[in-house]
Amino acid sequence: MKSCRNNILKLVAITFLLGTNALFSVSQDGYEQDSLFMRKIFDEALSRGEAYEDLKSLCKDVGARLSGSAEADMAVKWGKLRLEKYGFDTVYLQEIQVPHWERGTKESGWYETADGTIYKIDVLALGGSVDTDGLISAELVSFSTLEELRKAEKSKVEGKLVFVNEPMNEKLINTFSAYGGCFPVRSSSAVDAGKLGAVGVIIRSLSLLEHDHPHTGTLRYTDEVEKIPAAAISTKAANQLQQLVDNGEHLTFHLEMNCKSYPDKKSHNVIAEMKGSVYPKNIIAFGGHLDSWDVGEGAHDDGAGIVHTMEALRILKVLDYKPRNTLRVVFFMNEENGNMGGKTYAKKVKEKGENHIAAIESDRGGFSPRGFTCDGSEAHLKLLQAFKLLFEPYELHRFEKGYGGVDIYPLKDEYEDIALFGFLPDSQRYFDYHHNANDVFEEVNKRELELGAASISSLVYLLDKYLLD
């Protein structure tokens, strides 16, 4: 590890000097070589790229692919076949166990005012929700935030159906921060409402845009609190419902859902490698997650990450790059509702005695690249920032400390010195599509997707070259 640190610092020093032009000649050769190779990577992605057609196939030939579904099994086969087609050194499956929840055939909601006027509303069960056991009808009680619900008297909530209408904070520039702030609304409302004796809960979808598509995503139950059914309504429907609430209407909500959890099922992560020529036992892993929610086509979340990383390796292969370390693409299964792919992967590779030196995740959509986050040591962060100059022609500018990703995070528990990196595309549109019916292939732009793949391929190349000597 010491030689690694020294090497990191050497590059950092060189690039800082480059930045001031003080000793440009010292490292000009290396810089030019990297710069030229990255230009080749971007040319390949933009001129002969396959990411877009691969994504089209994943979205249209497979479609939505929630863990435990037939489509998730199909996605595993799809992934293995694609990776084999590209002729990587090794392609194999890694067995995991995944939760299995299904939406079922019934998902109906409407509400009525005191005078009997009825309003139909699209409801979408949150992932993992229990069913309603037939139709439930209850008085609606509304809260503008989760915090307000948590502070409510039991008498106000008991026997009623809770509506939590907490909007994401539109003032935050990074939309993932706004999502983080509202995440507990989706994950905890069922427990918080259940504690107070509610019969069910509906939440405002986590989206920054006013539109018609409710979103889904996991909720969390606890053993101590009775499980109550939970669903989301669209941001537009939430605004309409809120208007009636604000007008003082006494509303009765009717909900029927027959979603259900089944025993865990066998599934797989899908893995492909280019063997390292100098340090074959050192692994740089990069991937996204192969599963998606069961609405839309999982295009941005996370079809983009799958094809980004497959394309990243394909490009290095067609450019005849000889990696020093082993480069490994991992299609993780079950990020959405359990992260059994990421958790199992980290455990199994550690058990096998494999040495992971870095991992990169793409799970923030297929938009124009902005940069990368680094979850590692200060030296790792400095190394990433030393690459900034090389990425400037491609309009990447954010090289900062931050979370790598759900799938790769468990590797931190197994490898003390690992560096985790997260691909950062522009975040403005992500929550227009996230976990809703809008997340389809047509909403991904070809060039934006290709630039993402080239950015990741470039980072893989640079890490392979500079991370360890």
**291 CB-side CA count, 13 A:** 30
- Contact status: 395 vs its own copies (CB under 8 A): yes
Q: Given the complex with its own copies, which of 168 and 285 has the nearer CB atom?
A: 168
Is residue 60 close enough to count as binding its own copies by CB under 8 A? no
Among 171, 248, 351, 353, binds its own copies (CB under 8 A): 171
Q: What distance in Å separates the CA atoms of residue 362 and residue 376, rounded to the nearest whole number? A: 17
319 belongs to the binding site for its own copies (CB under 8 A): no
What is the C-alpha R_g of the chain? 24
Given 195, 370, 382, 435, the residue binding its own copies (CB under 8 A): 370
* One of 47, 105, 155, 247 touching its own copies (CB under 8 A): 47
User: % helix / strand / coil in the chain, to the nearest 5?
Assistant: 40, 25, 35
- 446 near its own copies, rule: CB under 8 A: yes
Interaction pattern, residues 201-240, with its own copies; x per rule: CB under 8 A: -------xx-------------------------------
Contact 302, 83 (CB under 8 A): no
Least gap, CB of 394 to its own copies (angstroms): 6
DSSP 86: T
> Least Å distance between CB 43 and its own copies?
5
| Residue whose token pair is 């094809």 | 307
20 contributes a contact to its own copies by CB under 8 A: no
Do 293 and 251 contact (CB within 8 A), yes or no?
no
Residue 49 CB, nearest approach to its own copies (Å): 9
Counting beta carbons within 10 angstroms of the beta carbon of residue 280, is it exposed (0 to 12), middle (13 to 18) or buried (19 or more)?
A: middle
Judged by CB under 8 A, the number of residues near its own copies is 26
Query: Among residues 131, 158, 215, 128, which one has the least CA distance to residue 430?
Result: 215
d(CA 73, CA 385): 39
Contacting residue, 10, 43, 347, 414, with its own copies by CB under 8 A: 43
Residue number, 221 or 394, with CB nearest to its own copies? 394
| Least Å from the CB of residue 224 to its own copies | 38
The answer to whether residue 448 forms part of the interface with its own copies (CB under 8 A) is yes
Binding mask 268-307 for its own copies (x = CB under 8 A): ----------------------------------------
Whole-number minimum distance, CB 288 to its own copies, in Å?
20
Which residues are 420's β-sheet partners? 359, 375
Give residues with Cβ within 8 angstroms of 371, minimum separation 6.
391, 396, 397, 398, 399, 400, 424
Minimum distance of its own copies from residue 315's CB (angstroms): 14
For position 348 contacting its own copies by CB under 8 A, the verdict is no
- 175 interacts with its own copies by CB under 8 A: yes
Which residue lies nearer to its own copies by CB, 185 or 454?
454
Query: C-beta of 395: minimal distance to its own copies in Å?
Result: 6
237-273 core/surface letters (b: 16 or more CB in 10 A; e: else): bbeebbebbeeebebbbbbbbbbebeeebebbbbbbb
450: nearest Cα among 49, 55, 40, 48? 49
DSSP state letters, 273-320: EE--SSEEEEEEEEEEES---SSTT-IIIIIHHHHHHHHHHHHHHHTT
Torsion of CA 300, 304, 306, 310, to 10 degrees: 180
Are 285 and 56 a contacting pair, CB within 8 Å?
A: no
- Asked if 173 is part of the footprint of its own copies (rule: CB under 8 A), the reply reads yes
For the bound state, the minimum distance from the C-beta of residue 426 to its own copies, rounded and expressed in Å, comes to: 5
Q: Kindly state the smallest distance separating residue 18's Cβ from its own copies, in Å.
A: 18
Cis peptide, bond prior to residue 73, ω within 30 of zero = no
Asked if residue 361 lies in contact with residue 286, where contact means CB atoms within 8 angstroms, the answer is yes
Asked if 451 touches its own copies (CB under 8 A), the answer is yes
Verify binding: residue 443, its own copies, rule CB under 8 A. no
Candidate ranges 101-109, 154-162, 169-177, 198-206; the one touching its own copies (CB under 8 A):
169-177
Tell whether residue 16 is a contact of its own copies (CB under 8 A).
no
Binding positions for its own copies, rule: CB under 8 A: 42-43, 46-47, 170-171, 173, 175, 208-209, 368, 370, 393-395, 397-398, 426, 428-429, 432, 445-448, 451
